[in-house]
Amino acid sequence: MPIPTTIAKGADRLQIGSNNMKLYRLLFDKINELYKNSPELHEHRDVTLELLKNKAEGKDPPPTQEKDDRPIVVVAVGHSRKGDSGATTWDGSTNEHRYNLQIATQLCELLEESELVKPVLLSNYGGKTYSQAIRWLSDKVNSLGTVALVVELHFNSAGNPKAKGSEFLFWHSSQKGAQFAQHFSQKMTDFFPTLVERGPKPIKSGQRGALFLRRLAPVCLLLEPFFGSSTSDWKIFKSTRGKSDLVRCYFEAIVESVL
């Protein structure tokens, strides 16, 4: 017996009123009769019956599970290991961990809403030492499957109060890392034209952030958008406007890099 597609299609077009269970039962019997001698087609029959039942009950058809093939982007909060909170701003009002957890949370909300990428927020790193924390992070990232980009959020700090501007660190031999870092740097200047653009910074073994940038398999960037030790930088980034612009800037840089 061929697959009675006309019945299935016809059933799909039926406009059954929400209270019309009587018609549903009639069709239920008819369809069962039709498929009686074709046990191999019972799955097909069940789909049709399910559809009819939903229509009769006034329900929407069950949502079809679509494959989620959005690129995965990990947003990691630097210094979120217990006992490490990173640098403090010059006025003592906040530190890297606290500041960036807020930025990361808003950024992931925006990325999620856009449905363009699949964000994963990683904070509260495990491990007692920096290298243990990086191992923890790398295990987490590897468990996610194919990850398009990992960004770790920081801000810079220096003894010299005149040091200021944005820096984006990448592993020196990563071509994509260089390309993405350049894009972040450019984007930062678009959003904050008065900020000094220190630019992308290639990192080699033994340099700041080397373990993080080298150890993780996907493209990694370490984001240092400003100096918390600079009065003029911090004036921009402590404001509500500065924070929301930073979120928006990261959002655009991420989406444009990975898509």
Residue 208: CB minimum distance to Zn ion, A: 9
Q: How many residues bind Zn ion (CB under 5 A)?
A: 4
In 3D space, the residue among 91, 90, 119, 117 whose CA is nearest the CA of residue 104 turns out to be 119
Q: Is residue 4 close enough to count as binding Zn ion by CB under 5 A?
A: no
Q: Is residue 200 close enough to count as binding Zn ion by CB under 5 A?
A: no
Q: Is residue 209 close enough to count as binding Zn ion by CB under 5 A?
A: no
In this structure, what DSSP letter does residue 81 have?
S
Q: How far apart are CA 204 and CA 245, in angstroms?
A: 31
In Å, how far are 17, 136, 165, 247 from 252, measured between CA atoms? 47, 28, 19, 9
Q: Is residue 78 close enough to count as binding Zn ion by CB under 5 A?
A: yes
User: Contact region for Zn ion (CB under 5 A) — 54-62, 81-89, 114-122, 143-151?
Assistant: 81-89
In 3D space, the residue among 76, 110, 119 whose CA is nearest the CA of residue 96 turns out to be 76
Binding Zn ion (rule: CB under 5 A), the pick from 118, 154, 164, 187 is 154
User: Contact region for Zn ion (CB under 5 A) — 4-12, 46-54, 132-140, 147-155?
Assistant: 147-155
User: Contact region for Zn ion (CB under 5 A) — 123-131, 150-158, 202-210, 237-245?
Assistant: 150-158
Binding Zn ion (rule: CB under 5 A), the pick from 16, 76, 81, 86 is 86
Which tokens go with 194?
Answer: 């008065």
In 3D space, the residue among 77, 25, 73 whose CA is nearest the CA of residue 49 turns out to be 25
Q: Sign (positive/negative) of CA torsion 238, 242, 244, 246?
A: negative
Pick 19 or 124: Cβ nearer Zn ion: 124
Residues at the interface with Zn ion (CB under 5 A):
78, 86, 96, 154
